[in-house]
Amino acid sequence: MPSVLVVEDDYLLADELDRTLTERGFHVIGPASNLGTARYLLADNRIDVACLDVRLAGEETSMPLAQSLAALGIPFLFLTGYPVAYLPLAMRDRPKLEKPVDPQILADRLAALAQAEVRAPVRGPDIHYDRFRT
């Protein structure tokens, strides 16, 4: 049973996602309604795949979490009502489903992501700062 981190600030939708994904065999981590809770859940659980609302309460977005997931090689998709232009350029190639979403399509996409072979995070050359000691 794959574990899925759900990040959604709308309580009713978060509850529906939790119930829907659990019924379809996922182990739901969360749902997290804000970035701080999502980071805590990411640090303390084994996450196979994630479903991220783009815009959270206030001015908060899930972009910092998306960057962390990408760096860790954890697949994720965005679940949002906003157009793709709202996403940073580096995130526009990530899977995206528009709200309202068909629960079966969401479950199928998350299952496919969880089963896909994840590429190791891309690493640039190491940078050495020892010559700049203070």
What is the full per-residue pLDDT of the chain (134 aa) written as tens digits?
899 999 999 999 999 999 999 999 999 999 999 999 999 999 999 999 999 999 998 889 999 999 999 999 999 999 988 887 778 888 888 999 998 899 999 999 999 999 885 544 444 444 444 444 43
Three-point CA angle 47, 48, 53, nearest 5°: 75
Q: Return the amino acid letter for 31.
A: P
Burial track 59-98 (b if 16+ CB lie within 10 A, e otherwise): eebbbebbebbbeeebbbbbbbeeeeeebeeebeebebbe
What pLDDT is attached to residue 67? 94
What pLDDT is attached to residue 133? 42
What pLDDT is attached to residue 58? 85
- Name the residue with tokens 């979403």: 101
Q: Which of 94, 93, 113, 117 is nearest to 105 (CA)?
A: 113
**How big, in percent rounded to 5, are the helix, strand and coil portions of the chain?**
40, 20, 40
Q: How far apart are CA 34 and CA 99, in angstroms?
A: 18
| CATH of segment(s) 3-116 | 3.40.50.2300
Q: How far apart are CA 104 and CA 27, in angstroms?
A: 16
What pLDDT is attached to residue 120? 47
